[in-house]
Structure 1
Amino acid sequence: MPFIVDLPPMEQERVVCAISAAVKYEIPANIVLAVAEKEGGKPGQWVRNTNGTHDVGPMQFNTAYLGDLARYGITADDVAAAGCYSYDLAAWRLRGHILNDSGDIWTRAANYHSRTPRFNAIYRADLMQKAGQWAAWLDEHFVTRDVLEEGGQPVTTAQRPAQPVQTRAAQPVQERAAAAQGATLTGYVPRRISFRTESEGSGQ
C-alpha cells in the first residue's frame, strides 16, 4: 500500500491491519477503520472502565468478551499484542454485531462500544462521521462497493448464518428512510473493498 508510506508507523499499522481484517471478515472497511480510529489504543495498553472491565490493546477490546475467546485459547495478552491480530479479533466481533444485532448497521457497529442506548448513540454519531471520511479515502485508492445499495449485503451468502442481515430492500420503510437520512447528513456509506486487475477494470 504505497499511499500510506508518509503516515506515522503506528498509523500505517492501523490502516493496513484494519483494511486486511475488513477484507478477511467481509465487513465494511470504513467501519473497521473508523472504529480503529475511535478506539485509538496502543499495544499493551489496558484502560480501566467504571464497571470494572478493561479495554485492551490497539482496538481496546473489552475484557468482558475474553470469556468468548478463551474457548479458542485466546488470552488477554494476545488481544494486547502489537500487530494485526487484535484487528482481526475486532473485525470478528464487529461481524458478529453486524450479522446478529438489531437496529441499522450503524447501531449494530456501535455495539462494539456499548449496547446501552445513550452510549451507543454518542458512539454511533461519531462513528458515522469518521466512516464517511474513510469512505471517501477508500474510494480514492480502492475499488469499493456500497453495501447499502439495493440488494447489497454486508457479508457474502456463503458465510451468512441462520439469521441473515436484512438487505436494504427488505428493511421496513421507516428504517430505510432513517438510514437514508443519516447517509445524507453525514456522507457516510459503508464500503466493501473489491480487488481486480487493471485488465478487469478496463473491460479487456
Structure 2
Amino acid sequence: MLMFIDLPPQMQERVVCSISAAVKYEVPANIMLAVAEKEAGKPGKWVRNTNGTHDVGPMQFNTSYLRDLTRYGITANDVAAAGCYSFDLAAWRLRMHIRNDKGDLWTKSANYHSRTPRYNSVYRADLIRKASKWAEWLEARFVTLDVTKEGATVSMPIQPTKVQEVAHQVSATPATIQSTPVSSYVPRQIIFNNPTNTE
C-alpha cells in the first residue's frame, strides 16, 4: 500500500484510495483527488438532501445512483463503509460523467456534484483550483502524463525540496493554499511502470 509520510494520518486513506481508484478507472488522478477533497465525507456519514436523497460515506455518493446498482448487490451501507470501495465507485461514476456527459472536462467532472448549472458552476470553479494543487502534488511524487495531449511526454518527479513545499500546500488550511493558476492546469494520469524501462 502507498503511504505518504508528508500527509496527515487522517488524509492517508483518502489519498491512497483516490489514487488507486483513478488508476483503475482511468480518470485523471488530480481530478479524483480534488473531488475527494471537495466531498470530504467520512465513513458512516449520511447527509440528507432537499430532494429526499442522501449523500453517503467518504465520497458522499448520492443514493439516487444506487437505484440502478442494487441489481449488482451494491447498497448504501457498502458505500458508507471505510476503505476504498466508495472511492472505486466514485471513480467509476466520474469516468461515466467524463465519457458520456456534455460540456468541457470541468463541467463533466462537476456533474459528480450536480448537473444543475448554478450548482455545477460553483463546484466546477473550486474543483479546478483543487485539481491544480493536486497536480503539483502528484508531479512531485509520480511519473505523470498530460492526458490532454496526444503523444505527450511523461513528467518525472521533482526535487525533494519542492516536494516539501507542495506537501505543505496540500496539508495547509484552504485559506492558505497557493494554487497554480487555472491557465497552467494539466490533467495528470499516473504511470506506475518506468516508461524508460524497455525490458
2:184 corresponds in structure 1 to 187
The answer to whether the aligner puts 1:137 opposite 2:169 as a matched pair is no
- After superposition, the Cα gap between the structure-2 partners of 1:80 and 1:17, relative to the gap in structure 1 and judged at 3 Å, is same
* In the alignment, structure 1 residue 57 sits paired with structure 2 residue 57: yes
- Following TM superposition, by how much is the alpha carbon of 1:149 offset from its aligned partner in structure 2, in angstroms? 1.3
- Report the residue type matching 1:134 in the other structure: W
1:117 corresponds to which residue? 117
- Name the CA shift for 1:115/1:137 in 2 (closer, same or farther; >3 Å): same
Cα 1:145/1:64, change in 2 over 3 Å: same
How far off is 1:90 after superposition? 0.1
Q: For each residue in 1:73-116, what CA deviation from the matched residue of structure 2 results, as whole angstroms up to 9, or x when unmatched? A: 00000000000000000000000000000101111000000000
Per-residue deviation at 1:27? Answer: 0.8
Which whole-Å CA distance do the structure 1 matches of 2:126 and 2:63 have between them?
A: 23
| Structure 1 unaligned regions, length at least 5 | 153-182
For 1:52, what is the secondary structure of its paired residue? coil
**Displacement of 1:17 after TM fit?**
0.2
Q: CA deviation at 1:8?
A: 2.8
Corresponding residue number in structure 1 for 2:14: 14
CA–CA distance in structure 1, aligned partners of residues 2 and 61 of structure 2: 29
Q: How far does residue 6 in structure 1 lie from its aligned partner after superposition?
A: 3.9
CA contact (8 A) 1:132 1:186 kept: no
Amino acid at match of 1:66: L
Deviation for aligned residue 1:186: 4.8
Find the aligned partners of 1:64 and 1:118 in 2 and give their Cα distance. 20
Partner of 1:4, secondary structure, is coil
1:4 corresponds in structure 2 to 4
Is contact 2:142–2:190 with CA below 8 Å preserved after alignment? yes
- Inter-partner Cα distance in structure 2 for 1:54 and 1:117: 20
Q: Is 1:28 paired with 2:25? A: no
Q: Secondary structure at the match of 2:7?
A: coil
SS in 2 for 1:145: strand
Task: Give the aligned residue type for 1:195.
Answer: F
SS for the counterpart of 2:140 is helix
**Is the contact made by 2:30 and 2:138 (CA closer than 8 Å) also made in structure 1?**
yes
Cα–Cα, structure 1 residues 99 and 2, in superposed 2: closer, same or farther, change >3 Å? Answer: closer
Where has structure 1 moved over 3 Å in runs of 4 or more? Answer: 183-187, 200-204
What runs of 5+ residues in structure 2 fail to find an aligned partner? 153-179
Give the RMSD, CA atoms, in angstroms: 2.0
> Does the CA contact (< 8 Å) of 1:128 and 1:186 recur in 2?
no
Offset, 1:53: 1.1
> With structure 1 as the length reference, what TM-score do the two structures score?
0.78
What is the Cα deviation at residue 9 of structure 1? 2.6
- Could you tell me whether the CA contact under 8 Å between 1:38 and 1:127 is conserved in 2? yes
Aligned equivalent of 2:86: 86
